[in-house]
Structure 1
Amino acid sequence: MGKKQRIDKLLAHMGFGTRSEIRRIVKQGAVQVDGATVKDSGLQVDPEAAAITVEGRRVEYREYVYLMLNKPQGVVSATEDSRDRTVVDLLAAEYAHFEPFPVGRLDKDTEGLLLLTNDGKLAHNLLSPRKHVPKTYFAEVEGKVDAADAAAFEKGVELDDGYVTMPAKLVVLKEGDPAEGRVSKIELTIMEGKFHQVKRMFQAVGKKVVFLKRIAMGPLLLDEHLPPGSYRELTEEELELLRGHTAP
């Protein structure tokens, strides 16, 4: 049995309108619980056990939402910002009313995988420094990235503030050629998430990141069919993988 909630609060949470709009549709007799018309918008119901309909449409109750977003450049990883569009601004109303928030952050000019959810416990576990959830990035880097950089990253590099990173795995997909202006293409897996970490790691070896995209977070891989700015709900499988990865 779930926890009982007021029917107006519950329906507002499920995106059926504001509390006052819901009070109005209750007065009009449009809401039924277990086949009986609701007269009181303050009625307490167990959303997991009760069959609730609005204008004959069954309400599928859920508490949490889990969204995979391919974050585009120019959008900030926040729930609100006075200057810039946020990742939450990209969501349709049916998801926005759950008040999801980004799990961690990507820089404004970084693209790629961002999880949005209102499940605080899962978010906390994914971000906990103790869990060391790996994050993998694809990057284009000015200059020639080679085996010497991979060896340095494998040991951990010292950032500009003296912090020494945990060992990171650098895979060079294509070596650049500075003489011809060709960038290096790489994949990098890091175990922590310091501010601007990937860019600062390359700075530590004298290189500059010119394009950055996160492609994985733990076992969750960015769906290659999602164009930047698009999102979808996680599949049950993806959610189970994430939960399994962060279990105690």
Structure 2
Amino acid sequence: MRLDKFLADCGVGSRTEIKTFLKKKRVLVNGALETSPKRQIDEKKDTITFDGQVLSHETFVYYLLNKPRGVVSATEDREHKTVLDLLDDMARVKEVFPVGRLDKDTHGLLLLTNNGALAHAMLSPKKHVDKTYRAKVSGLMTVEDQKRFGQGIALKDFTCQPAKLEILSLDEEQESSLVEITIAEGKFHQVKRMVAACGKEVVDLQRLTMGPLTLPEDLDRGDYRRLTEEELASLEIFDVAL
């Protein structure tokens, strides 16, 4: 691997910035100064140091974000703040992207990575990856609604796969419900449309899980962190290189 690619993968900077760093003698290879970006190195055997810090190579990175409302699930947008604006410089250097999307006014768990194979596997309709949402609903959800969800609700343009509706609480005075909904697909506005088909309206929507990943209780809205070793291991079920 070329030295400049290794340094870029480690988040040191862009290729142009790395050339400058090399000229300024800020990089060591096995203890010796190196100024050529074309230098071939073995990322598994050679010791690369930048400003005195030993670098560890990683091809893929994984971020778990508690997406806030008002932010769009995109890598760029001319009008709105994107989820990438919430992440660090390393994420941008690594060119991460959101795995799937959450509506602008939906909050909760969102995985961002630069591992395209994993993203494809998690979003593939053939994989039937469950996603669980907690919804505050205007209107009282019923046992009949639960049956409709379980049978698969027919919308105008498609029929939803069978889904699970769990009623957590009902407030008859306010005529509102708190529910959890688990679906194995993710069509546009699907959860909101399914609830609307039952004559009610979602007023707040939060994603709690996606496949084996669960939104941590201690991760504040708008904050993010790297996946833990246990979380990363749980993604091995998708049978792709991590």
| TM-score w.r.t. length of structure 1 | 0.92
* Aligned pairs (5 A) from 1:50-199: 50-161=46-157, 163-177=158-172, 180-199=173-192
Do the aligned residues in 2 keep the contact of 1:126 with 1:133 (CA within 8 Å)? Answer: yes
One-letter amino acid of the structure 2 residue matched with residue 118 of structure 1: N
**Which residue pairs with 1:201 in the alignment?**
194
Distance in 1, Cα, partners of 2:122 & 2:160: 19
**In terms of mean alpha carbon deviation, does 7-16 or 134-143 score higher?**
7-16
**Residue 204 to residue 30, structure 1, CA distance change in 2 (3 Å):** same
Q: Deviations over 1:174-220 (max 9, x none)?
A: 0232xx32420000100111110000001111111000000001111
Q: CA RMSD of the aligned region, Å?
A: 1.4
* Structure 1 residue 233 corresponds to structure 2 residue 226: yes
Distance in 2, Cα, partners of 1:26 & 1:96: 21
Q: Deviations over 1:3-31 (max 9, x none)?
A: x2x21232133222332332222223221
**In terms of mean alpha carbon deviation, does 63-72 or 19-28 score higher?**
19-28
Percent same amino acid among aligned pairs? 51
Q: Deviations over 1:37-77 (max 9, x none)?
A: 21312212222322100122101211111010000000000
Distance in 1, Cα, partners of 2:235 & 2:51: 37
Do the aligned residues in 2 keep the contact of 1:154 with 1:167 (CA within 8 Å)? Answer: yes
One-letter amino acid of the structure 2 residue matched with residue 165 of structure 1: C
* Structure 1 residue 247 corresponds to structure 2 residue 236: no
**In terms of mean alpha carbon deviation, does 209-218 or 56-65 score higher?**
56-65
**Across the two proteins, how many residue pairs are aligned to each other?**
240
Do the aligned residues in 1 keep the contact of 2:60 with 2:115 (CA within 8 Å)? Answer: yes
